[in-house]
Amino acid sequence: PRLRIGSTVPNFDANTTFGKINFYDYLGDSWGVFFSHPADFTPVCTTELGAFSKLKPEFDKRNVKLVGLSVEGVPSHNEWIKDIEEISKLNKFGFPVIADENKEVAFLYNMVDEEGFKNLGKGPVSTIRSVFVIDPSKKLRISFTYPPSVGRNSAEVLRVVDALQKTDAKGVVTPIDWQEGQDVIIPPSVSDAEAEKKFGKFETVKPYLRFTKA
Amino acid sequence: PRLRIGSTVPNFDANTTFGKINFYDYLGDSWGVFFSHPADFTPVCTTELGAFSKLKPEFDKRNVKLVGLSVEGVPSHNEWIKDIEEISKLNKFGFPVIADENKEVAFLYNMVDEEGFKNLGKGPVSTIRSVFVIDPSKKLRISFTYPPSVGRNSAEVLRVVDALQKTDAKGVVTPIDWQEGQDVIIPPSVSDAEAEKKFGKFETVKPYLRFTKA
């Protein structure tokens, strides 16, 4: 399948460091941040999984479940997680990492680069740094794709979760570089009269650009 | 085509607010940040194009050309750009916006969501907030896909350009949340002896996790 914004993401069963999971059942009614990394015992990935595990309380607050993935087996993941806990000074690594040894989930979610795609079935294939933000109805809402050489931005993942949850809850949209607490935009589909009823005060910069408190 | 990290991006000719361009010729030997937005005279897009145009000096410094796209014609783009210049207090809007009225480029770069894809040929189709970071060899290096309701993060676009240029120039990789000036990671393919020759001092956290000054 080709995943687009608004696509229902595919379900799967997989072995993980938390035991066997069914993806949909694991997410339940939560949001999901599902991301892949190239390999266990590699440096950028180590910093990434440590950072995301440290931020788990922030994701918990937002009702978001984290799920990682790479193509090694569970024993390798578990050995490596000991390193991550030591390096990032974590009491306990906080979320499951899928052991996608047959690369079934990686291909279901297209977590490969051009080279990996060409090597399909004839060479080593590692996953890249994909991020999928999935809402409680299992729809893909945002996706990022980074190469193995560049680590992701944990603050941007939290920022877009805040933005998506705000837009869903309040019927607003968020401007460039928006951060929680900043003013939001009233969508053009809402008339001035409706906007006044719904949001109280708002500032009109142009008829189509109206800011209000979130 | 299905664009993956490492894919050569497709070339095209298009009408833009800077006249007719050939995409490859326009980029020349520069990096490219190519992004789409849903529609002219809509609020989030207005804040986004204003912010990117304000940052043009930063992109220029990094040898990056910006190219925007949406599905209206050049006259509509030009009228709207007057608003952007006024709102964002710009002397002159700084980069071309493609008028992709036939949605040819949008489909070449898959800048549509699930609903737009299903409406293909039978309803209105608008583009979503795609971002493609393209290197001078015309390879796709990073891509982001946001929905119409959530504005992008201009700092993250600049950050990944810095990271990609640093990794290419120095043969290093960048950790999670890396910012220009912070320490980088020596890739495991470089031995300790080579690393000492190449980078001088470095810090070994684990044999596979070594930090050095960039």
Report pLDDT digits (tens) over A134-152.
999 999 999 999 999 999 9
pLDDT at A103 > cutoff 80? yes
Q: Do B145 and A142 touch (CB under 8 A)?
A: yes
Closest in B4, B41, B113 to A4, CB measured? B113
Buried b (16+ CB within 10 A) or exposed e, A34-70: bbbbbbbbbbbbbbbbbbbbebbebbeeeebbbbbbb
Looking at residue B214, what is its pLDDT?
A: 81
> What's the average model confidence in pLDDT over A29-34?
98
Q: Do B144 and A145 touch (CB under 8 A)?
A: yes
Looking at residue B132, what is its pLDDT?
A: 98
- Counting DSSP H helices and E strands in chain A, the numbers are 8, 10
Exactly one of A27, A45, A128, A134 is catalytic; name it.
A45
Looking at residue B53, what is its pLDDT?
A: 97
How far is residue A13 from each of residues A22, A25, A49, A127, B34, measured CA to CA in Å?
Answer: 4, 10, 22, 18, 37
Is A68 part of the annotated catalytic residue set? Answer: no
Mean pLDDT of chain A: 96
Which chain A residue's Cα is nearest to B177? A153
pLDDT at A93 > cutoff 80? yes
The topology (CATH level 3) of A13-152 is Glutaredoxin (3.40.30)
* Chain B residues in contact with A115 (beta carbon < 8 A): 6
Predicted ipTM > 0.85:
yes
How far is residue A44 from each of residues A161, B117, B165, B175, B212, measured CA to CA in Å?
Answer: 23, 35, 17, 5, 13
Superfamily of domain B171-212: Antioxidant, Horf6; Chain A, domain2 (3.30.1020.10)
Instruction: Kindly tell me the sign of the dihedral angle through the C-alpha atoms of A23, A29, A30, A31.
Output: positive
- Rounded CA-CA distance B40/A112 in Å is 34
The residue extents of the domains of chain B are 13-152, 171-212
Report pLDDT digits (tens) over A158-167.
999 999 999 9
Report pLDDT digits (tens) over B103-122.
999 999 999 999 988 887 77
